[in-house]
Amino acid sequence: MILGNVLAFAAMYSEGGEGGGGLLSVNPGLAFWTVLTFLLLLVILRKVAWTPILQALDEREAKIKESLEQAEKAQSEAKALIEENRQNMSKAEDEARKLLADAQKIAERNIEASRGEAKAQAERIIADAQQEIDRKKQEALNEIKGQIAELSVAIAEKVIRKNLSEQVQKDVIDQYINELQKN
């Protein structure tokens, strides 16, 4: 029905053509050529243009996407690395500080220890010396005591010898002889 309208309409204008028909008339020859040309064009372009172009576009899109993702990944990795570095650094710093403190403590302890030892040694030496001194003093005292006793005995002898009578001497000698005889 619509087609009929068109054909009627076309017929109105169909007188104007020069071998090509009217404005609204369908020319079978041209239709044939158009179908042939268009289908050939479709086949050729599909092979020559659309497939490679669309493929290239897809590839490029995939590549761009991949590159962006990779960049993002690299960035996050870099960020993580930086963070890790920072942590490592602060950890190392802490460790260094701790080491230093430890060393200081050890050194202090060493100093303290050697000071104590030195003191102890000094004390010991002093004590030894004191002992030696005391011993020497005692020895000297003893020697002096011995000499004093000897001297006192000698003095007493002298005094006694002067004071003892003949009789007493005789008694004493007798006593000795008696005692010798008893033995």
Interacting residues with another protein (CB under 8 A): 2-3, 10, 13, 16-35, 37-42, 44-46, 48-54, 56-57, 59-60, 63
Taking every pair of Cα atoms in the chain, the longest distance, rounded to a whole number of angstroms, is 209
And the tokens for 9? 């309409």
Contacts of 17 (CB under 8 A, 6+ apart): 25
Q: Using the CB atoms, write b or e for 72-81: b if 16+ within 10 Å.
A: eeeeeeeeee
Smallest distance from another protein to CB 75, Å:
23
Query: By the 8 A CB rule, do 49 and 41 touch?
Result: no
| Rounded Cα distance, 162 and 119, in Å | 63
Nearest to 6 by CA among 27, 28, 31, 25: 25
Q: What is the DSSP letter of 14?
A: G
Q: Using the CB atoms, write b or e for 2-32: b if 16+ within 10 Å.
A: eeeeeeeeeeeeeeeeeeebbeebeeeeeee
Smallest distance from another protein to CB 14, Å:
10
Q: Which is nearer to another protein, 38 or 176 (CB)?
A: 38
Smallest distance from another protein to CB 55, Å:
8
Q: Which is nearer to another protein, 58 or 134 (CB)?
A: 58
Q: Which is nearer to another protein, 56 or 156 (CB)?
A: 56
Smallest distance from another protein to CB 38, Å:
6
Smallest distance from another protein to CB 18, Å:
4
Q: Which is nearer to another protein, 57 or 160 (CB)?
A: 57
Q: Which is nearer to another protein, 70 or 152 (CB)?
A: 70
